[in-house]
A and B are shown apart, each in its own frame.
Chain A
Amino acid sequence: MNIFVLMKRTFDTEERISISGGKIADDGAEFIINPYDEYAIEEAIQLRDAHSGEVTVVSVGSEEAEKQLRTALAMGADKAVLINIEDDVEESDQFTTARILGEFLKDKEADLIIAGNVAIDGGSGQVGPRVAEQLDIPYVTTITSIEVEGQKVTIVRDVEGDSETIETSLPLLVTAQQGLNDPRYPSLPGIMKAKKKPLEELELDDLDLEEDDVEPKTKTIDIYLPPKKEAGRVLEGEIDAQVKELVNLLHKEAKVI
């Protein structure tokens, strides 16, 4: 099977976040593989091991994403591709990213493309379905299991807590939901091997795209932290007095009950 994984390098949102100049400050910040893309990488490796074939992990971003791509190779992916847009693209949105990925994938004869269902930083969940639409292949989002038998694919997807069993066929794009698998950690031999695996770097030119073709359709005009809530009130005293006070506050002050 010819499998592609779409991987985003993201800000680790468990870390503290600060703003400078209308942007999230990223100096000193911790960057990781988007957690939902880790599930995607793991699933791709397992499917390849079961059905043979090749796993290629592709990321749109800057040179800095090389680190996360190497980690994916160390987990067991075969090849990595970085589409470096740093010099060509000043502003981007989901249209931009999907357009670039779609253009890259259109002649790759992918059997299966696996993305994450959402990026924990940008959080739109758009890129997967957008890419599928561009390639004119079916897609299934938020999957928790996938079985492939020849061209036939059986999937379980999570729909707000309900589970749907879906039958479809390759070529296909799916997006990973938590619960799909437990991603492995790269092993030491894996890390050694990863250094020798191919990591190709492309630019817009290589995809025959001009800057105009990928011009974003939306624009971020400001980024800010939520208004500081007044420090919450941790109540004091005997438990039953606290409970009385809480109910009173919810009723009279917050007026939610």
Chain B
Amino acid sequence: MSKKILVLAEAREGALRNVSFEAIAAGKKLSNGGEIVSVLIGEGISSLSQELVEYGADKVVTVEHDKLKQYSSDGYAQALLAAIEAESPDGIVFGHTALGKDLSPRIASKLGSGLISDVTSIEESGGKLVFIRPIYSGKAFEKKVVNGGLVFVTIRPNNIDPLPKEEGRSAEVTSLNVDITDLRTIIKDVVRKATDGVDLSEAKVIVAGGRGVKSESGFEPLKELADLLGGAVGASRGACDAEYCDYSLQIGQTGKVVTPDLYIACGISGAIQHMAGMSNSKVIVAINKDPEANIFKVADYGIVGDLFDVVPLLIEEFKKIKVS
């Protein structure tokens, strides 16, 4: 039976985050040929609808209100619950982002439904959808199914491939009027630290530094390498605590969870809390002067050596490939 799936789109600074498209692709797996409805919440965001359609949405519902300019759990819950009531979906998909993590449990609780969080892949087995998610800080995986009723999941960014973009695809776009009342939490100030450039959770290449980078200026060669590869710079908590870089670069259980194609760990020992945020990366390279460092256990390729020798040489070599 085909199913109607509602997926939440997420915009940041006027642009859609990739996870919005990945959620559409995940929705397709749930829908069995049914309709994918993307919900876009905010203010002055309706121009983003077309891109959702080109990535596979069969319908876009926008909810706009000046109280939705910034995310709040109360405001977004009202908008989303109105969309859910209007569409009566059989399934819901959010990204497992700060927003998705904050909002999804509340919606699930309100609907009296289950919720499978942080899904990294979706399979079908005996006509049933099976959701796979990392547990125990990434040291194990579990397969979960829904015991009936609404299928509600959040997906980890950068794990489920978006559908190919179809330029010029068209679909219905409607706007839903929702009276947003009574916000009980008010945002007074936002300090944006997330650096411009590539969003860490969406980056295909990440060059990460740890306490071994030794200083703020020690991050410069890492930045140069990341730029050369079109990637982003990340860090361990060790480097953040030592004030070599901002906490917004932190990768791990407390920081960002990333799944790039290539993760280059420089001067990072490989604590479990760090690995929880990166062990799913497709290819991991470790550069560390201690041959016993834990990070070598998850690395596909390792160089035992001083990162200040290795990174500049890497930059040189990669430049050669880029030229050829």
Which residues of A line the B interface, CB within 8 A? 11, 13-14, 17, 19, 24, 93-95, 98, 118, 120-130, 132-134, 138-142, 154, 158-169, 177-179, 215-226, 229, 232-235, 239-240, 242-244, 246-247, 249-251, 254, 256-257
Contact = CB atoms under 8 A, between A and B. Distances in A.
A217 B114 contact: yes
B117 interface: yes
Interface residues of B, number: 89
Contacts of B139: 13, 17, 225-226
B252 to A, nearest CB: 9
Contact of B303 (A154, A162, A167, A242): A242
A129 B105 contact: yes
A196 B310 CA distance: 59
Given A124-B118, A160-B98, A254-B300, A218 B144 contact: yes
Contacts of B184: 138, 168-169
Contacts of B201: 160
Most buried by A among B149, B185, B190, B283: B185
Contacts of A126: 104-105, 108, 115, 117
A39 B267 CA distance: 28
Contacts of A133: 105-106, 109-110
Contacts of B48: none
Contact of A229 (B113, B136, B188, B298): B298
B262 to A, nearest CB: 4
A95 B108 CA distance: 9
Contacts of B143: 220-224
Interface string B287-324: 00001000011111111110001100110011011000
Given A217-B114, A218-B114, A240-B313, A163 B302 contact: no
A11 B255 CA distance: 21
B147 A216 contact: yes
Contacts of A163: 190-191, 193
